[in-house]
Amino acid sequence: MSTNHQTHTLTDILIPTPLRAYTGGQAVVAVEGATVGQALDHLTARFPVLRKHLFGDDGNLRAFVNIYLNDEDIRYLQRDETPLGAEDRLSIVPSIAGGGADVRAFAC
């Protein structure tokens, strides 16, 4: 473990079912980091395949990927800079969307 972090807060991250294939089957992974961004970096350093599933080519979280700190979406907190406390819990939560007929079919 790195000793460079200012804190050694360990935060549980809840992993959605399909991504457990890349965490050795673990539904909850304890990660190190003082902020949400550090925790996600630590998670993807331990399980590198997760990175392409969570982040797009532009390095940002994919549009359907939401990170919750306890009951709050980090987009409404301080995003990657959101500080983590001792009792905090992170969740990776997908948005699900789609639908039948394509819009362009209606535009013809």
Residues that bind another protein (CB under 8 A): 16-21, 53, 64, 66, 68, 73, 91, 93-104, 106
Measured between alpha carbons, how far is residue 16 from residues 24, 53, 83 in Å?
13, 12, 22
Q: Shortest distance, CB of residue 8 to another protein, whole angstroms?
A: 28
Q: Shortest distance, CB of residue 33 to another protein, whole angstroms?
A: 22
User: Nearer to another protein by C-beta: 8 or 73?
Assistant: 73
Q: Shortest distance, CB of residue 4 to another protein, whole angstroms?
A: 31
User: Nearer to another protein by C-beta: 86 or 97?
Assistant: 97
User: Nearer to another protein by C-beta: 1 or 103?
Assistant: 103
Query: What's the rounded Cα separation, in Å, for the pair 26 and 19?
Result: 9
How many CA atoms are closer than 13 Å to the CA of 86, on its beta-carbon side? 0
The H-or-E segment that residue 55 falls in is none
Shortest CA distance to 11 belongs to which of 85, 101, 66, 71? 85
